[in-house]
Structure 1
Amino acid sequence: MRRISKLTRVAVGVASLALAATACGGTSSDNGDSGGSKDDLGVAIAYDIGGKGDQSFNDAAFAGLTKAKDEFGFKTADVEPTEGETDADKEQRLASLARQGYNPVIGVGFAYGPAMEAVAAKYPDTTFGIVDSVVEGENVASLVFAEEQASYLAGVAAAKATKSNTVGFVGGVDIPLIHKFQAGYEQGVKDTNAKVKVVSQYLTQTAEEGGFSSPDKGKAAAEGQIEKGADVIYQAAGLSGQGVIEAAAKAKVWAIGVDSDQYNQEALAGYKDFILTSALKDVGGAVYTLTKSVQDGKPLTGTQVFDLKVNGVGLSDSNPKMAEIPGLKEAVDEAKKGITDGTIKVNTE
């Protein structure tokens, strides 16, 4: 039977690590006192579309790997996806990491679901993790998040920040996972100010069309929404979101980042004055927590839920300009309380 649990606060804060950390590799260590097998290497992650350098989802996973490497002193690996790859390619990648002795092996993104289901059964002594999907398996931890809750807070912030009463949402790919971001955001906006209009758009129907990996598509979508009057745009689009942020900064309107605190990303420093906030998703914390459980000899399995109660999701407050917007902080704080105490039920679709 699949176990369902809420992870503890040990996961919190990993997403704030510097994402410019040194590349993985390091020196192999037995870590004999840690509880993990001395034959195991450390954690390995296989990136989702967009790869490392997206300043968002994948980079958050790398931050968790870096924290685990620094703490446990073992060898790690991170592997990039290839353009147009198949499930068989993903299966081969995961199997290769398991054969080399990495434990745990984590697929970053729902696209690894079919491959992980096939590979995990062949390597029962390896713990596998998958982000943003549920895969059944005795040795699989499914690391899922309440993205709708963070997005609700982003919607509250957008409704308080808008002057035009029109805000935007750009989703990378039209899939159920990204629908959670849209649903939470739109509900947060409407619950805060019913007069605010939300203009929503998806970049592509499938990931293979580049919805998560095409900044040019994100930029064009944001420009279109700005022409319609949107002065706050929330993006849940991976690497494509960088184009949304660029377009917002050029037009001097607000962008809302996603997954990582994009206000603090070095690659986006030129646009930071126009990044109002970011809907946080502690992917790094999930990677670290699963790795620690393996090192402790008590590997997590089943569905592990990261929500607002355990700070698995949240809203960043790095931009000091947030404090200058009347009522924004108070509204966000009230929404957080409502979500955590159950008085606010956030939509997922």
Structure 2
Amino acid sequence: MLSYCTNVHPAEDLAGIVAQLDAYAVPVREELHADRLGVGLWLAADVAAGLAADPAARRRLTAELRARGLAVHTLNAFPYGGFHAEVVKHAVYRPRWTELARLKYTLDCATVLADLLPGDADTGSISTLPLGWREPWDRAADDRATAALAEVGAALARHDRPIRLAVEPEPGCVLDTVADAVRWLAPRVDPEHVGLCLDTCHLAVSFAEPAEAVAGIYRAGLRVVKVQASAALHVAAPGTAAAREALASFAEPRYLHQVRERAEDGSVLAADDLPDALDRLPGRGPWRVHFHVPLHARPAPPLAATTDVLTTALAAVREHEPDRFPHVEVETYTWSVLPPAHRQDLVTGIADELRWMRARLPGREVCA
């Protein structure tokens, strides 16, 4: 179940989404010489609502996908809309899981995915945000989010085909790390219907040891439902002039790029965006930056990419899931905001990433 995530494309209406599949997904499939290509669809909330209300539209979209040799096993329901606006930043964390709009969007996505799943699919998955940005958050918010996730779990249990929700920890959010997500989810959700989305860029930024983080998920009785295969920026000596110049080229206005610095005593210092980190963090220990960089194209020194965290995490998941591996979705949504020297033709870049990923998933196809 290896796919690439279509949140790299901007369309937020059904005609535009189909046009993007023709412009990018079909050429990627052809470049890979694959009979079927896995696509992890991102449907903005209005599109998901329209499809959920119209069974005939879902049938037409299913036919459009099949005609193009595309297979959908997973949806990315983290961004609600406006993901390619001029400035996104904190807006991507709204609506939160305390709001009815988030619940409705997720239920709409489940209705859509149930019809889009190929006949040979064992299960579907939907990734979602880790409750919301960390502030403001209180006990009342906790209770509302708990009730909303319980409602989603009950709705998923009623579907004829198994669909699971995958909560995706992210730096700066209520569920900042994998450990935070495990502590919050374990006593609250039915693990048959709700688990984790392991974004390996986010995991790397937290400086958690990947195998131990994965083990903690399974010790708690939860599962990795989906892996978002992604890599963060790493710089060993961020205080040098060369490192600061290289990092500054990645500071851009659309997305939030959280930064973590590991201090000598093992503690982790935090900044909510790269410009803030360059102004405020001491730069005496290594940095990890939440900037999804292409998996196959390593940045030039003094920067590096955390692909080792990705491969270690995948190996750990395989140990715990020897018989049923989670969906794997390559999620480099940042192609349009990469520094010019790091950009690549999008079709070629996506195909190269999928080749890189496929080589590290022996025996797995580019789609299910």
Normalised by the size of structure 1, how large is the TM-score? 0.36
Higher relative contact order (CA 8 A, sep 6+): 1
Normalised by the size of structure 2, how large is the TM-score? 0.35
